[in-house]
A and B are shown apart, each in its own frame.
Chain A
Amino acid sequence: MESHFVTEAAAQLRRRSPRAVAVNLIGPLTMLAGVAWAFLQPYRLTLLHPHEQGFWWLLSEPPLYVIVVGLVFALVLAPGLLEDLEEVEDAAEG
């Protein structure tokens, strides 16, 4: 059962067009950029050390903003977009 599922998933991945792969990568790459920034400049995340930080410093977490944008893209926009892209590509193939 498990191996069948893995085979199906692998076949689906193989079927994916370069455009679908590109859409799939936009969100994760954006998140990755945010995570890399957080590691390079951890002091930008004032939540990690919130003592004596003012309201605006606690609200302004730019690496988190980038991660959230990538996450929302990957979870909210990309799935529906991939469905529509598949339909358009299938229709074009006839």
Chain B
Amino acid sequence: MLPKAEFVHWWFATGFLIIGLLLLAEAVVGEQAWGRRRWRPYLWPSFAFLMGVLMWPVMVFFTSSTIHMLAHGSWAQVMMLAGAAELGLARGKLHSPYWRLCTALAFLVSGAAFLIHEQNGWFYARSAFLHHLIGWTLVGGAVFPLLRCLRPRAAALQAGFALVFVVVSVSLYCDRDIAPVFGHLAPAAGAPHR
């Protein structure tokens, strides 16, 4: 028996929380202190890549519609791309800072996928609200990885980048399969559960 969709959202929320905290710590201590142990710069890109890999089974087993399959598939691809590019930069195999554009692309594609595959309005149900919120957070948040290409050591940009992950994590933790949002729940959504 498959887990409920909300359980999978909570697992991915935990992954995003881990990435957010790692990036936040890096932003606080700076690149020099963060890079003093060779394994540390690999941490968050590895989690991003792993989450991209784990998105494939989600795509396979949670195919409630074609557009869901396309959305999950595009997330899997761009998360793996962003993780791989950041791993290449951490390892020193890739040198150009413009490889960080892969992460900006991942944000834009993921945000667009959230917005496009949510067919209902903001207040249809909580999951619809959160899909819109996460979608716009990622689209707006893409400015941080974009500017990181130009100023990779700017602490404010790194902190903003980290906080986008934390916000997405909190939003995913708030997700329920059928639940109201601010007192709104469309009758067609079904019976709510806590």
Which residues of A come within 8 Å of B, CB atoms? 19, 22-23, 26, 30, 43, 54, 56, 59-60, 62, 65-66, 69, 73, 77-78, 80-81, 84-85, 87-88
Q: How far is the CA of A63 from the CA of B14 in the complex (A)?
A: 10
Contact check, B3 vs A84: say whether CB atoms are below 8 A apart: no
- The reply to whether A77 and B25 form a contact with Cβ atoms under 8 Å apart is yes
Chain B residue numbers with a CB within 8 Å of A54 are 1
Partner of A69, one of B21, B29, B30, B40: B21
Min distance, Cβ B76 to any Cβ of chain A, angstroms: 22
Measured between alpha carbons, how far is A69 from B15 in the docked complex, in Å? 9
B6 → A minimal CB distance (Å): 8
Assembled-state Cα–Cα distance A42/B30 (Å): 38
Contact across chains for A81 and B33 when beta carbons are under 8 A apart: yes
B21 touches A81 (CB 8 A): no
Say whether chain B's binding surface is mostly helix, strand, loop, or mixed.
Answer: helix
Question: How distant is the Cα of A61 from the Cα of B37 in the complex, in angstroms?
Answer: 33
What is the CA–CA distance of A54 and B13 in the complex, to the nearest angstrom? 21
Residues of B with Cβ closer than 8 Å to A? 1, 3-4, 7, 10-11, 13-14, 17-18, 21-22, 24-25, 28-30, 32-34, 36-37, 40, 173, 194
Provide 21 A-B residue pairs closer than 8 Å at the C-beta atoms, listed in order of the A residue.
A19-B28, A23-B25, A26-B21, A30-B17, A30-B21, A56-B4, A59-B7, A60-B3, A60-B7, A60-B11, A62-B10, A65-B14, A69-B17, A73-B25, A78-B25, A81-B29, A81-B33, A84-B34, A85-B33, A87-B36, A88-B33
A residues near B4, Cβ cutoff 8 Å: 56
For B32, the closest partner residue in chain A by CB is: A88
B24 interface neighbour in A26, A62, A87, A88, Cβ under 8 Å: A26
Contact between chains at B3 and A69 (CB < 8 Å): no
- The reply to whether A22 and B37 contact each other, CB–CB distance below 8 Å, is no
What is the chain B residue whose CB lies nearest that of A82? B29
Among B7, B24, B25, B28, the residue within 8 A (CB) of A56 is: B7
Chain A: minimal CB distance from B48 (Å): 16
User: Whole-angstrom distance between the alpha carbons of A69 and B20 in the complex?
Assistant: 11
Contacts of B21 in A (CB 8 A): 26, 30, 69, 73
Whether the Cβ atoms of A69 and B18 lie closer than 8 Å is yes
Nearest opposing residue in chain B for A61, CB measure = B10
Which of B1, B13, B17, B30 has the most C-beta atoms of chain A within 10 angstroms of its own C-beta? B17
Residues of A within 8 A of B7 (CB): 56, 59-60
- Quick one: closest B residue to A64, CB to CB? B14
